[in-house]
Structure 1
Amino acid sequence: MSRIHVTTTVNGDAVEFLADPRDSLLDCLRDQLNLTGSKEGCGTGDCGACSVTVDGTLVCSCLVLGVEAEGKRIETVEGMAKGNDLHPLQRKFIEHAALQCGFCTPGILVAAKALLAENPDPSESEIRFWLAGNLCRCTGYDKIIHAVQDAAAEMRGA
């Protein structure tokens, strides 16, 4: 099967890669672009560990074909920090100890960033609803929720 040339933008950078038509976006990110922050937890879109945004929409990258990235704007967890400056969500996850093994954390961070882009002042129930597609086996979700609330307040300047 011939590979398809894909031109896209990932984390603000123009990139090109060759994708097998059956490759998921997750596979392309990890194997072609060496962006290994997104993880494959289930391969069926149930766990959220592979969450990225495509043109601002939160998606499970295991359910999107790599060739569908053509001309799109992809954002991964690697694009959250700017240089040595962590994104407020990343800092608050550390401050609140809102992670343990870290496997699910990249997907949760990307999902939380997408939430705050859409709703900069979410209630606890809105955060819980938005992050319901991200499963974590290690932590209780309370620390995650508090970290998102704290980051939202900081980002609003509250």
Structure 2
Amino acid sequence: MRMDPYAYACAAALAAWLLLSAAAQLGPLLPRLKQWHQRYDPLGFVPRYHFFAPRPGTYDYHLLVRTGPDGTPSFGPWRELAPPRRRRWWHVLWNPDRRQRKQLFDLTMRLCRADARCEDPATPLSIPYLLLLGHAGGAVGDDGQVQFMIARSAGYRRGEPPQAVFVSRPHRLGTG
């Protein structure tokens, strides 16, 4: 049985992709390879996996919101948006919540580095703040006011209590 030229071309392309993918995992060891990957693969066709980090994440981050009637200083209790689901064995291969957790982590790190106490007048105008406010406001509705908080928990280590790492200013919702 003979393969046609298209099958050879497809096999060659897949083999090249496999070799590039394997080489991309060496990026932290080979700085030139990392530079090549960043320059020539802006769409991310060649995957890079980060199984081990220099400082692995040891905390879980949670986005909490509370709402209250417009024009009053009172708020209801804090509630978590999208509480984490229980981990399953197949999350090793397919984990749909990974990107949301990573986004929350990245936004939290940017907010905490810039202004962890939310005292700077520019903080509510920053991209991370506005993204989190938009998500919090969209999840609770259109009336009243909203405030969000990012809390950090120790994950599976139960001895350490959760703590707030960022608390937003109150914001009025809706156009009314």
- Please indicate the TM-score interval, normalised by the length of the shorter structure: under 0.3
TM-score, L = length of structure 2? 0.26
TM-score, normalised with respect to structure 1: 0.28
